[in-house]
Each structure stands twice: as C-alpha cells, then as structure tokens.
Chains A and B, each alone.
Chain A
Amino acid sequence: MTPLGNNVRDTWLRVTQGKSGVGPITLFDASTFATQIAGEVKGFNFERWIERNPPLASAARSTFFALHAAAEAYKDAMLKPFTVDSRRFGIYFGGGDSGIDFDPFVKTLMASFAASGDLVDKGEYVHQSLRHMNALRELESQPFMTVTHLTRLFDIRGPVSNCLTACAASSQAIGEAYEWIKRGDADVMMTGGSHSMIYPLGVVGFSLLTALSTRNDEPQRASRPFEKKRDGFVIAEGAGVLILEELSHAQKRKAHIYGEVVGYGSTADSYRLTDMDPEARGASEAMRIAMTKAEIEPADVDYINAHGTSTGVNDSLETVVIKKVMGEYAPKVPVSSTKSMLGHMIAAAGGVEAIFCLLAMRDSIIPATINYEEPDPELDLDYVPNTARRASVNVALSNSFGFGGQNICLALRKYNGQ
C-alpha cells in the first residue's frame, strides 16, 4: 500500500518505471503550510472494509492500510485458517501512531478554555471530552490497535509486539520477527509496518524541525535523495507487510519463497535527538553486524536499498557509512533510494523497502533514485540515477535509520532452493 499503488504489482510496476507518487496534500487544507505536498495513498475503499468488518468503523487510516497489505501478503503466502497453528503464528509490527481525532479534540480544547484567562482548564477538558470525543476513536488512535486488528482478522495468537522506533520501526520489526522464528517461538510471523502522518499536527511537527521539502511547485521532483538540490524529505503514508516463516515449515507446505532474511543489525547512536552522529559510528556498526551475521563480504552485496531520505544530513552521512563499510567495493555497489518515488512512509518505510529488495531479486531489476539531476560533489556512489537497471540481485541490504538514533540494517538473500 503506497502512494504509487494499492498492491504489490501496481506499486512495483511504477517503481521500476521511475514514477513519483508525490502530489499536493488533499487530506486537509495545507495551503497555509510551509510544506503542501506529500505521498498520499489514492483511491482506497475504506467503506468496503467497514462493511465486511463493522468493528473497523472507528479504526485509524493506517490500520486500514495495514489490513489491506496484510490481506495481500497472507494470500500471496497461501496461508489459510488451519494451515498454520495459530498459537505458533506471531506478529512483530512497526505500526506508527495515528495522531489525534482532530476536530473533536479542537472542540474539546475550545470548550475548556478557562473563562478568566488563556489557559485550558484541565478539569474542564476531561469533562468536555465526554461531550465531544468518541471513546472508540480515542482507543483506535493508540499505536497498538493496528496490531490488535491484525491479530483478530488473521487469527494470530502467538507472540506479539509492536515497535515504535520511528523511521526504523518496520525494519526493526522484520529483524526481530526473524529472530523470534530462529529462537523457536513461532513458525510463521506477520511483520512489516504501517503509518500515516499526513495530518495537520504530523506535518507541522516535521515542518518545525525543518526536515520537510518545501518544493511545493514541483511535487514529483521534491524527493531527490543524494542529489545536490535536495531540501528535505517528503512525508508519505502506506503499509508494507511481509510473512516470515521458518524455512522447513514453508517448504513443507510448498509456499512460494521470495528470499531469506539472513542478517539483522541494530544499534543506537547515543548522540543527539534529531541528528545523526557525524562519524556515523552507530549506522556503520548496524551494517557490519547485519553482514557478519549473514556471513557476507562487501563483494557479495549486489544492491543496497538506502534509507536515503533526501535530507542534507542523512544522505551525506549514509554515503560516508556505505564507504566505511564497503571499503574499496563502495563505488561498485548500486545504492538507490526508493523514497525518491514514494516519499518517506516513516514507520512503514522499511517494510515496503524490504519488499522492493525481494522483488529486485525476483525480477533482476534494481530500482532507480529518481530526480537525480545534479550530482552533489561530496556524494559519489552509484545511486542508480533516474532509470531502473537490469542486474541480477542475490544479496541485498536495506538500511533504516530512525529519528533519535536507531539504526537498522537487514541482509536479505534470494532463495535459490526451489
């Protein structure tokens, strides 16, 4: 579920064509905002889900995205009720928060301004909330509710967790889901992530951090990772859901196997709230750990799906990281950022990007970094500029670095056993 399509086929087709899913914000009137563009999911039928599942009536936007993507993954994995022991079917998800129920919140605030001053009367707020707010919508705004709906609809009764490590969340979820299977806690895990922050407070928050691109007149050219004129990331929404399974369990039921998770590295920067460590020690270490666990050398890496947000700092530092880790092979490894086409889906980004790595293996196509016009002299890796490239991909790495200094790297390998 992405700004480029509501299923894997449509999204991947447009990604390989180098299309952009970014456009003007339509979900609310952003005309007075510094940033007026985003990668929105389009043409999704919420009503159809609610008709079939009335308890979803108050669910968050990102919960619908998660369910829709999960249904496609579940079907593609040929899972059916009773084909898997539901107590050995777990979930480790990267589901972001969904913001507040804005209009009722504002009504409650306005009604609880203290008569004598310009402060909100807290007691009155609690009282007014009973009049204006919807209890179920408040419950649904909690990040764990996406997982609750997924467990309910897909009969998942095994181990459960939701991680909130910002932009690294769904990559971390995939790594942990893999570790849980390795540990023997589950045979099958649902994983990935889902998020939407395209609401007024979400956009304002990132705007205040001056993290967002303000290239409002050219939405489709706004996300330009690694390029000289990059001016921030483009916020996007969607979901990417994967089914991980213990190998022999998948073989026994003859499931289609796209690839294997072979390594996962997780580190903390221990540096600054919104900046990366200038020496990028944490991020390099995450990549090294993933490669060590996967028992791969720089020469084995066929593709790196970069975090590549299109912010000045991230793209410079990620280039440094890749050079550090790949050594003399750094110029030879294709590195691309699919965020150039989709924007940054925050907690959901890693899930979608891991899927792209697996499809790159399946189709022998490396997606491009679009909007690459003028090279940044400092950034001299092979960013797969503008056009997707034919190349066989056996081993891919996917980087995700979270605000606050959470660094994740996943190592994926093509499955050649069938």
Chain B
Amino acid sequence: MIERGDADIMLAGGTDSKLNAMGISRFNLLGLLSTRAGTPETVYSPFDEKHDGIVLGEGAGIMVLESLENAKRRGAMIYAEITGYGSSSDFNFDPRDEDDFTGKRVAMKRALEDSGIEHHDVDVIVANGSGVPQADIQEALAIHSFYMGSFGKLNVTALKPLTGNLVYASGGVEAVIAVLIANKKTIPPVANLSKPYPACPLPLVKGKARSAEVQFVMLNNFGLGGQNASLVFKHVKT
C-alpha cells in the first residue's frame, strides 16, 4: 500500500491469543499440539528429531512501515527496508499429511525476485518452523530446493520454540526479531534443537547465538490451510 502511494505510514503486524479453552481445544482436536513429556520450555522443538507439534503462545508484534523519503525527512530511526514479498497458496488442506513443498517454494522465490536478489545473497532465513513434523519437512525441502546442499553463508533459525506459536501474531513478532537480527548482528539459535531431524538438512543455528554480519534476512510464514508468505528485509546502516 505504501509502494503504490496509498499511504506514507502503515501500522502492520498482528496480535493473537488462543490461550483459552476453545482455542486450545481446537488445536488439540486437530492433533497439532506437542504432547512430549518434559519441562514446558524444552518441548517445542522444530526441526529436531523429537518434534511432535505446536506449543501455543500469545502476544503481538507491530511494526511501523514508512516510505523511505518520509522516514528520512522526519529523521526517523530506520531499522530495515522491506525489499521483497511473496505470497502463494498450496493445497495444504491438512498439514499432517501433504508432502508437496512447491507452494512454499513459490512464495520464497517471489520474495527473492521482488527483492532483485539471488538465494545466495540471503544471510539468514527465519523459518516458519512450526514443529509439526510434516510441515517442518516441507519447509526444509522448499529451502533445500534453492540451495541443493551448498548453503554457503546461509544460517537458518526458527523463533517459535522461544515464544510458542503465536498463530496470527507469529509473523509480526518474527518480523521484528528478523530486523533485530540484522541490527544486532546476532542470530538466535533454534532453541531445543539437540539432534536435527534427518529429513531437515538445513544449516540450523544450534546451541548458542551466532555473531555475523547480516544484510538480507528472509522470513517465512506458512498458514494452516495453505497460505504462504515470505518477506525479505534488508539491513539499513545508520
């Protein structure tokens, strides 16, 4: 909307809480929740061989987007620039039993094209990393399909094990963190990752946060029901 001139400033992001009896019972009925034994903070483990579903969370993540000229004119602190956005739909009617990753690939490809960059330019992918085994595999295959094993400088992380899955608010919170990753030159690890799932061969950040120069961060968000969105953020040096 900013790009087409409809607004100078947009408030964007999301807020959600499914932490009520109806919200939890829905995810529970669908068999999407993790049932692993363990301390609550350690069970949510996307891309790990023990991944078995979602742990719900709640919260909000909101950004102020602004046209570059407008932000410069009023001397605003600019964290990053959104350079690309890709959206696609696939037939992931049920995330538990589809193995087609092409929709997710299309969203990522469009975000790259929209940015005018190649996949090798991306420093960090903040994965959707839902923790539902089939969804993790699909996302890993989609990322892998660009790199075919030669990941170069790419680091992949996932934030949901730290916050829980914030459902509608996930993308807002993860976008804020994606921008901070570039800003602070620090890539948080995939929490609770001890042994990566063999079908998810990705350069995952394991153990502790990693320091690195970061210019481009790609964020993936894939919705239940087959809506895929990828964003590319470019660090702006201030």
Contacts and interface: CB of A to CB of B under 8 A. Distances in A.
Given A138-B29, A157-B106, A147 B4 contact: no
B9 to A, nearest CB: 13
Nearest to A124: B21
- Residue among B3, B24, B31, B91 with max Cβ neighbours from chain A (10 Å): B91
A134 B3 CA distance: 44
B94 to A, nearest CB: 8
B90 to A, nearest CB: 7
Given A142-B225, A144-B225, A148-B93, A157 B25 contact: no
B26 interface: yes
A147 B28 contact: no
A158 B93 contact: no
A416 to B, nearest CB: 26
Nearest to B92: A148
Interface stretch (A66-74, A177-185, A252-260, A346-354): A177-185
B160 to A, nearest CB: 19
Given A87-B88, A87-B106, A151-B226, A138 B26 contact: yes
Contacts of B6: 266, 289
Interface string A64-94: 0000000000000000000000010011000
Contact of B225 (A90, A100, A148): A148
Given A144-B227, A148-B226, A160 B87 contact: yes
B89 A122 contact: no
Contact of B24 (A126, A135, A144): A126
A161 B29 contact: no
Interface in A215-274: 266
B29 A160 contact: no
Nearest to B226: A148
Contacts of A90: 87, 89
A145 interface: yes
A130 to B, nearest CB: 7
A55 interface: yes
B161 interface: no
Given A87-B106, A122-B21, A161-B87, A152 B93 contact: yes
Interface in B1-60: 3-4, 6, 20-22, 24-26, 28-31
A133 interface: yes
Contact of B21 (A55, A87, A125, A138): A125
A197 interface: no
A139 interface: yes
**Chain B interface, >50% SS class:** mixed
Given A144-B223, A266-B6, A160 B89 contact: yes
A312 interface: no
Interface residues of B, number: 32
A157 B29 contact: no
B133 interface: no
Contacts of A182: 4
Contacts of A152: 91, 93, 226
Contacts of B106: 87, 157
A183 B2 CA distance: 12
A17 interface: no
B87 A185 contact: yes
A156 B89 contact: yes
B227 A147 contact: yes
B188 interface: no
Contact of A135 (B30, B93, B103): B30
A129 B103 contact: no
A392 to B, nearest CB: 32
A182 B6 CA distance: 14
A160 to B, nearest CB: 4
Given A120-B21, A266-B6, A129 B225 contact: no
Interface string A128-170: 0110011100110010110110011000111111100000000
Contact of B28 (A129, A139, A144): A129
Contacts of A151: 89-91, 226
A179 B4 contact: yes
A159 B225 contact: no
B93 to A, nearest CB: 6
A130 B29 contact: yes
A161 B87 CA distance: 8
Contact of A129 (B29, B86, B102): B29
Given A135-B31, A151-B226, A160-B227, A125 B25 contact: yes
B226 A129 contact: no
A134 B89 CA distance: 26
B4 A135 contact: no
B227 A126 contact: no
B89 A91 contact: yes
Given A135-B31, A148-B226, A151-B226, A157 B87 contact: no
Interface in B203-238: 223-228
Contacts of B226: 148, 151-152, 160
Given A87-B88, A152-B91, 4 more contacts: A108-B25, A120-B21, A135-B29, A160-B89
Interface of B: 3-4, 6, 20-22, 24-26, 28-31, 86-94, 102-103, 106, 110, 223-228
10 contacts: A126-B24, A130-B29, A144-B223, A144-B227, A147-B89, A148-B89, A148-B227, A159-B89, A161-B227, A289-B6
